């Protein structure tokens, strides 16, 4: 490794700002940002990842595609690759883009390319790709996110928009000063808050959560997992059954109603539809949603439910719902029921009260950096109106022309011929991976830019090697971050890897779009340009940032702190006539005539208890949550992630009694299975989780082999839970990702252990 021996360089990442340098011995050394009170354990993955054997060295083309041209998708993920020159690879990509748009129209190009690529405002991979595809005539886009794509469809119907709760949340400081009780449905998992899209400099959340202990704020933490509960004396764990939160919430609402603890004035002046909901709570469908009814479903004693409801009504209460709860079947309901509780308490718009969404899910919710705009790369305009809800990718590839519902509209899947993915990993993020493999057989061509041989790269036809952030220059800052960071180059590009910008410039030139794509700027000139424009915008609002050269030399600039942090919905609360919500009624819609009018049985017009899936053959609830040891699939080959594996497999956590029933001991390799597929995992026993619940985080690199226990079945030798989870939407309303849960069975695996091939590069020939 060469580049910057000895000198510490500044950079940032989704898991925080840090410093890096190469040592005399050529090793990469990493140090947290000096202002970071809680550096992320994910930093431990960086050094082992950047030069790992799974880096993509050179452009590579799948053998069958190279020999026979577009099509024959059965070979994807199975055939060898052939390394080719950059010129050959770029000619193939540009030629294929041009063929597809001429023969099938730009709608046949899928450029959604969802994923977390890298931090950095310029080399933001999706923006780069979208900019090129827009210039080339457009593409079918994807809408929404796997993170909170259900809430972003539902909340506009209920609160008028989703952004207010997602991005303008009350800060931890406001909560410490005003709140008596936080009821956190879905937990407050510290493992998650080291991540903020675009990065963070201070990682304030862990400190803030501990400080809440000192300020007397009580935390009622509702989750099946004890590990989601902050270790603070004022935090109480309410160990609910998975997929039962809506029952608990309705039980709490019933107690508030029948004990007259609800705020009828606020419900009349600021909400609509409470009457309908009240009738439902009292049994309009034949079932009274009382505390006993709720207790049977959620597993908490009825008395405790009633006591909690009374406690909620006796002071300032923040009802917060984690993003994980909407990443489930019927994931609209816990979000809507959370708003219902907050509305009944009458505290929406009061500091430290009302409804929160995503505290403990991600770093920026609750942090207090300024809400300033950040520099961004202009993407241009996409003239193609077609899109798919992001989590419907497999359906779209498998069923072109099929119609489906989405948020009140009847849509049709386009006929996708070319899939272009840069900066995301659908074989990480999507569900039912055996089905996704079949879907990926369909298009004529799959192009992927990747740093590493991820499962998606392995299922592509043309793989273009991308640099990592440490191998280029950028500038970065996340939502509610305190600094903008100059991201200096630390390493030379690996092997033949190029920046996504350089790759796309090569494609653009071949399509005659080179000048329009680059506007004649080098990456450094783009950085200076984007920074300069942003600096001018800040100057308009009275903030003086240093000039680019100063900023670049200093390595960072501290953003001006915000003096006040307005509470979300405070203006609406003060005067709902003058500042109504953006809902049809201008009020909080506890019953939505619009949603009811869509007539979806899986998403009725008000928060509703819909029975969760049950499966006698697969009696355990699997929670497939975010990994504490990496960001999704990124860094799985690094030290923090590898250090947690058991027997080379991803750890699965079981209750000791559930393990004993199955003859499973600590450290055993187990087979986890559903009817869709199976995976191996390493058993870790923990009595700090509910019985009947097992936890297997996402992100182990997919290593498919034939299941030795089920001929023809797919088994992931490494422990990727998405081979188990059904590819079903939350509902016809949001068509959101429902990846958080599935029913599984677990057994000890004593057979010969298959190798984890995903941790080595695939077979590659040189041309
Ligand atoms: N079962 C289950 N599944 C889930 C979830 C869950 O809770 N349970 N969570 C879901 C959620 S919330 C999300 S957001 C998704 C995340 O899904 P993804 O965002 O798709 O997952 P990542 O592993 O972060 O993929 C980003 C990819 O970008 C690549 N990359 C990094 N830098 C660069 C670069 O500069 N250029 C290029 N070309 N590539 C780069 C990385 O190598 C990596 O493979 O997963 C979803 N899937
Ligand atoms: N370390 C790390 N942090 C991350 C990420 C990462 O990959 N690694 N990814 C980031 C991203 S992209 C996102 S979108 C956010 C996601 O943020 P979330 O979606 O909130 O995170 P998860 O870890 O999936 O789930 C949080 C907790 O919800 C609880 N839970 C699951 N099912 C239920 C249930 O039915 N009821 C209740 N009450 N609780 C339940 C689980 O115990 C779980 O630990 O995380 C971000 N933070
Ligand atoms: Mo996410």
Q: What is the pLDDT of residues 149-179, one digit of tens each?
A: 999 999 999 999 999 999 999 999 999 999 9
Our mutation pick for probing the ligand 1 site, out of 14, 42, 55, 115, counting the most ligand atoms within 8 A of Cβ, is: 115
Topology, domain 620-759: Barwin-like endoglucanases (2.40.40)
Quote the pLDDT of residue 619.
Answer: 97
Beta-strand pair 714-716/704-706: antiparallel
Q: Out of 3.40.228.10, 3.30.470.20, 3.40.50.2000, 1.20.58.220, which CATH number does the structure's domain 149-370+582-590 have? A: 3.40.228.10
Q: Output the CA–CA distances (angstroms, integers) from residue 656 to 660, 664, 674, 701, in the order listed.
A: 6, 9, 21, 27
Average pLDDT of the chain, as a whole number: 96
- Determine if ligand 1 sits within 6 Å of the CB of residue 146: yes
pLDDT above 70: residue 546: yes
Q: Indicate the pLDDT class of residue 2, thresholds 50, 70 and 90.
A: very low
- Quote the Cα angle for 711-717-720, to 5°: 110
Residue nearest to atom 43 of ligand 2 (CA): 625
Quote the pLDDT of residue 621.
Answer: 98
Ligand 1 atom closest to residue 425's alpha carbon, by position in its atom list: 20
Count the residues in the chain: 767
Contacts of 671 (CB under 8 A, 6+ apart): 678, 679, 680, 709, 715, 746, 747, 748, 749
What's the token pair of residue 436? 């996704």
Q: Indicate the pLDDT class of residue 564, thresholds 50, 70 and 90.
A: confident
DSSP state of 649: B
Closest ligand to C-alpha of residue 192 is 2
Closest listed residue to residue 309, CA positions, set 284, 322, 290, 324:
290
Q: Where are the alpha helices (DSSP H) in 459-586?
A: 500-510, 514-518, 523-540, 548-554, 570-574
Quote the pLDDT of residue 4.
Answer: 47
Active site (catalytic) residues: 114, 116
Domain ranges of the chain: 9-49, 60-143+380-558, 149-370+582-590, 620-759
- Quote the Cα angle for 338-598-139, to 5°: 95
- Determine if ligand 1 sits within 6 Å of the CB of residue 731: no
- Determine if ligand 1 sits within 6 Å of the CB of residue 472: no
Q: Indicate the pLDDT class of residue 3, thresholds 50, 70 and 90.
A: very low
Q: Which secondary-structure segment (H or E) carries 389?
A: strand 387-389
Burial 36-50 (b: 16+ CB within 10 A, else e): bebbbbbbbbbbbbb
Q: Indicate the pLDDT class of residue 68, thresholds 50, 70 and 90.
A: very high
Number of C-alpha atoms within 13 angstroms, CB side, residue 250?
30
The rounded distance, in Å, linking the Cα atoms of 473 and 487 is 6
Our mutation pick for probing the ligand 1 site, out of 116, 365, 470, 500, counting the most ligand atoms within 8 A of Cβ, is: 116
What's the token pair of residue 330? 């019927």
Section 701-726 average pLDDT: 97
Contacts of 295 (CB under 8 A, 6+ apart): 251, 301, 302, 305
Give one DSSP letter per residue of 280-326, joined into a string: HHHTTTS----HHHHHHHH-S-HHHHHHHHHHHHTS-EEEEE-GGGG
Residue nearest to atom 27 of ligand 2 (CA): 186
Backbone angles phi, psi at 210, to 5 degrees: -65, -35
Other CB atoms within 10 A of residue 385 CB = 9
CA 429 / ligand 1 centre spacing (Å): 6
CA 260 / ligand 3 centre spacing (Å): 39
- Determine if ligand 1 sits within 6 Å of the CB of residue 118: yes
Other CB atoms within 10 A of residue 563 CB = 6
Ligand 1 atom closest to residue 464's alpha carbon, by position in its atom list: 38
pTM for the whole thing? 0.98
In sign, the C-alpha dihedral spanning 529, 530, 533, 539 is negative
Quote the pLDDT of residue 1.
Answer: 43
The rounded distance, in Å, linking the Cα atoms of 537 and 544 is 10
Q: Output the CA–CA distances (angstroms, integers) from residue 171 to 16, 176, 469, in the order listed.
A: 19, 9, 30
The rounded distance, in Å, linking the Cα atoms of 588 and 167 is 19
Ligand 1 atom closest to residue 457's alpha carbon, by position in its atom list: 44
CA 320 / ligand 1 centre spacing (Å): 25
CA 435 / ligand 2 centre spacing (Å): 24
Backbone angles phi, psi at 518, to 5 degrees: -90, -20
Ligand 1 atom closest to residue 116's alpha carbon, by position in its atom list: 19
- Determine if ligand 1 sits within 6 Å of the CB of residue 725: yes
**Contact yes or no for 754/715 (Cβ under 8 A):** yes
What's the token pair of residue 539? 């100057």
pLDDT in tens, 492-510: 999 999 999 999 999 999 9
Closest listed residue to residue 143, CA positions, set 594, 736, 738:
736
- Determine if ligand 1 sits within 6 Å of the CB of residue 634: yes
Beta-strand pair 556-558/620-623: unpaired
The rounded distance, in Å, linking the Cα atoms of 93 and 418 is 10
Ligand 1 atom closest to residue 468's alpha carbon, by position in its atom list: 35
The rounded distance, in Å, linking the Cα atoms of 61 and 95 is 14
- Determine if ligand 1 sits within 6 Å of the CB of residue 739: yes
- Determine if ligand 1 sits within 6 Å of the CB of residue 698: yes
**Contact yes or no for 514/580 (Cβ under 8 A):** no
**Contact yes or no for 610/424 (Cβ under 8 A):** no
Percent of the chain with pLDDT over 90: 94
Section 9-21 average pLDDT: 97
Q: Indicate the pLDDT class of residue 692, thresholds 50, 70 and 90.
A: very high
The CATH architecture to which 60-143+380-558 belongs is 3-Layer(aba) Sandwich (3.40)
The rounded distance, in Å, linking the Cα atoms of 660 and 665 is 7
Beta-strand pair 181-185/218-222: parallel
The rounded distance, in Å, linking the Cα atoms of 357 and 152 is 11
- Determine if ligand 1 sits within 6 Å of the CB of residue 465: no
Our mutation pick for probing the ligand 2 site, out of 626, 638, 653, 692, counting the most ligand atoms within 8 A of Cβ, is: 626
Ligand 2 atom closest to residue 40's alpha carbon, by position in its atom list: 1
Using CB distances shorter than 6 Å, the residues near ligand 2 are 147, 185-187, 189, 191-192, 194-195, 222-225, 228, 240, 242-243, 245, 322-325, 327, 361-362, 623, 625-628, 631-632, 740
pLDDT in tens, 288-344: 999 999 999 999 999 999 999 999 999 999 999 999 999 999 999 999 999 999 999
- Determine if ligand 1 sits within 6 Å of the CB of residue 498: no
CA 571 / ligand 2 centre spacing (Å): 31
pLDDT above 80: residue 5: no
């Amino acid at each position: 490794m060469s580049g910057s021996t000895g000198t510490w360089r500044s950079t940032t990442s989704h898991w925080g700002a840090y410093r890096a340098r190469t040592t005399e011995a050529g090793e990469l050394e990493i140090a947290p940002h000096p202002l970071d009170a809680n550096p992320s354990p994910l930093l431990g993955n960086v050094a082992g990842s950047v030069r790992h054997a799974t880096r993509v060295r050179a452009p590579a083309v799948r053998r069958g595609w190279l020999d026979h041209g577009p099509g024959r998708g059965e070979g994807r993920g199975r055939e060898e690759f052939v390394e080719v020159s950059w010129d050959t690879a770029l000619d193939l990509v540009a030629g294929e883009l041009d063929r597809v748009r001429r023969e099938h129209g730009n709608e046949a190009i899928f450029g959604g390319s969802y994923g977390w690529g890298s931090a950095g405002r310029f080399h933001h991979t999706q923006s780069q790709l979208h900019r090129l595809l827009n210039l080339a005539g457009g593409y079918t886009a994807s809408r929404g996110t796997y993170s909170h794509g259900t809430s972003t469809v539902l909340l506009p119907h209920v609160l008028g928009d989703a952004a207010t709760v997602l991005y303008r949340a009350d800060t931890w400081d406001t909560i410490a000063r005003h709140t008596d009780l936080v009821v956190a449905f879905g937990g407050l998992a510290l493992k998650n808050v080291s991540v903020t899209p675009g990065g963070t400099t201070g990682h304030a959340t862990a400190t803030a959560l501990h400080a809440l202990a000192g300020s007397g704020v009580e935390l009622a933490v509702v989750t099946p997992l004890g590990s989601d509960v902050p270790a603070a004396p004022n935090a109480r764990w309410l160990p609910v059954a998975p997929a039962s939160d809506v029952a608990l919430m309705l039980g709490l609402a019933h107690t508030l109603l029948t004990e007259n603890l609800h705020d009828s004035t606020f419900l009349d002046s600021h909400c609509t539809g409470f009457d309908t909901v009240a009738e439902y709570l009292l049994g309009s469908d034949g079932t009274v949603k009382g505390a006993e009814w709720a207790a049977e479903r959620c597993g908490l004693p009825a008395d405790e439910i009633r006591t909690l409801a009374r406690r909620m009504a006796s002071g300032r209460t923040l009802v917060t719902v984690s993003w994980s709860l909407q990443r489930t079947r019927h994931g609209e309901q816990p979000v809507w029921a959370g708003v219902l509780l907050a509305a009944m308490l009458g505290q929406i718009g009061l500091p430290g009260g009302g409804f929160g969404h995503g505290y403990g899910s991600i770093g920026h919710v609750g942090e207090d950096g300024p809400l300033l705009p950040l520099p961004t790369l202009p993407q241009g305009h996409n003239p193609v109106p077609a899109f798919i809800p992001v989590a419907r990718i497999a359906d779209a590839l498998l069923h072109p022309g099929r119609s489906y519902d989405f948020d009140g509209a009847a849509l049709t899947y386009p006929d996708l011929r070319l899939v272009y993915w840069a900066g995301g990993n659908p074989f990480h993020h999507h569900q039912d991976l055996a089905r996704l493999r079949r879907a990926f057989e369909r298009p004529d061509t799959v192009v992927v830019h990747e740093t590493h041989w991820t499962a998606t790269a392995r299922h592509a036809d043309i793989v273009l090697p991308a640099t990592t952030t440490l191998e280029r220059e950028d500038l970065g800052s996340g939502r509610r971050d305190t600094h903008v960071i100059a991201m200096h180059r630390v390493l030379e590009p690996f092997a033949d890897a190029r920046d996504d910008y350089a790759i796309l410039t090569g494609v653009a030139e071949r399509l005659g779009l080179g000048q329009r794509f680059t506007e004649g700027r080098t990456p450094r000139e783009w950085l200076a340009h984007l920074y300069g424009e942003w600096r001018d915008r800040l100057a308009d609002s009275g903030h003086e940032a240093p000039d680019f050269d100063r900023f670049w030399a200093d390595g960072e600039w501290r953003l001006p702190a915000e003096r006040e942090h307005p509470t979300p919905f405070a203006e609406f609360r003060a005067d709902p006539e003058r500042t109504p919500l953006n809902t049809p009624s201008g009020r909080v819609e506890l019953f939505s005539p619009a949603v009811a009018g869509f007539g979806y049985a899986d998403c009725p017009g008000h928060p509703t208890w819909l029975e969760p899936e049950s499966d006698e053959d697969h009696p355990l609830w699997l929670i497939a949550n975010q990994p504490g040891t990496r960001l999704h699939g990124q860094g799985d080959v690094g030290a923090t992630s590898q250090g947690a594996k058991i027997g080379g497999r991803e750890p699965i956590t079981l209750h000791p009694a559930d393990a004993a029933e199955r003859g499973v001991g600590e450290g055993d390799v187990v087979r986890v299975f559903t009817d869709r597929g199976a995976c191996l995992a390493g058993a870790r026993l923990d009595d700090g989780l509910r019985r009947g619940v097992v936890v297997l985080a996402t992100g182990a690199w997919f290593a498919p082999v034939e299941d030795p226990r089920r001929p023809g079945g797919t088994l992931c030798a490494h422990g990727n839970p998405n081979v188990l989870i059904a590819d079903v939407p939350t509902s016809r309303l949001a068509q959101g990702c429902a990846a958080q849960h599935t029913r599984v069975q677990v057994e000890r695996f004593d057979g010969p252990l298959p190798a984890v091939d995903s941790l080595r590069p695939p077979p590659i020939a040189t041309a």
